Amino acid sequence: MDSMPYPDTLAARAELCRSVILSAGELVLKGFEGEATRSFSMKGPQDFLTVTDAASEAHIRGAISACFPEDSFFGEEGGGVIGDRVWVVDPVDGTANFARGIPHFCISIAYVENGQTEFGAIYNPALDELYFARRGEGATRNGQPIRVAETQRFDAASIEMGWSTRIANATYLDVVKNLLDMGANVRRAGSGALALAYVADGRSDAYLELHMNSWDCLAGLLLVSEAGGDVCPFLEIGSLEGGGPVLAAASGVANGVSQASKIPLAERQPSDRQRALSA
């Protein structure tokens, strides 16, 4: 990759994002295919770490620093500084799946400027699926436009929910009960970032988590919003540093999921592109 700084524009940063997430994907896929590099340690309860996580983050951090040395970087493994222009990165989301040989994991990169997510990308190298969204310009998978599902009925809805030890089990179980009582199917696949991408492309009808870190969700929330779905106001009810509750859903079930989880929805302000897509 060219080590010279790119032009200081949003378009150039978006171009770098697409490039670096694919090159990081090559590195991650090699790690997945090599049994030794899938061996893991534990950062905490059900919190896995592999050498590939660190290698992927170092690769992404190095590329961004070389091209945009004034931008800040905030990653899951190495942390960082949050400035007015910050790249928020999960080098491998779904590490437990990765470590156990399950091809459901991804890399997630979001770029936030002055408190607003401008673009985001999620890449599953095992399936070679690249999701990308830029604010106001729609969402794509492998370059093709995607839209959220048109599901209206909860007895036809598939909802994914994530959980962690940061919230009491009883609280999660209450939400699951609410969703099941409404008739929804509730599942968990082990990658919150991919779960959000799957809402954006209609594979799932909603994703919620009562506490999620920013590196896991910012790219996915933008994807869902740009694909015509409803999302929570994450940076208002949570923060880049501390995380917060996450909800993203197809419009037909969004209000019900919000009521079941007590996670508010952001007021929707569709872009011109979204208006054209829904016309």
Query: What sections of the chain are H helices per DSSP?
Result: 10-33, 51-67, 95-99, 169-181, 192-200, 214-226, 234-237, 251-261, 272-278
Annotated binding-site members: 76, 90, 93, 216
Q: Name the phi and psi angles at 129, rounded to 5.
A: -115, 120
Closest of 178, 229, 224, 188 to residue 209, by C-alpha: 188
Closest of 89, 62, 55 to residue 74, by C-alpha: 89
Query: What sections of 47-133 are H helices per DSSP?
Result: 51-67, 95-99
Annotated binding-site members for Mg(2+): 76, 90, 93, 216
Q: Sheet harboring 116-124: ordered strands across?
A: 79-80, 72-75, 85-93, 106-113, 116-124, 129-134, 139-141, 144-145
Question: How far does Cα 207 stand from its chain's mean position?
Answer: 11
Question: How far does Cα 195 stand from its chain's mean position?
Answer: 8
* b/e burial code for range 111-120 (CB count within 10 A of at least 16 → b): bbbeeebbbb
Judged by DSSP in three states, 275 sits in helix
Structure tokens at 71: 């931008």
Burial of 51 (0-12, 13-18, 19+ CB in 10 A): middle
Q: Name the phi and psi angles at 72, rounded to 5.
A: -95, 165
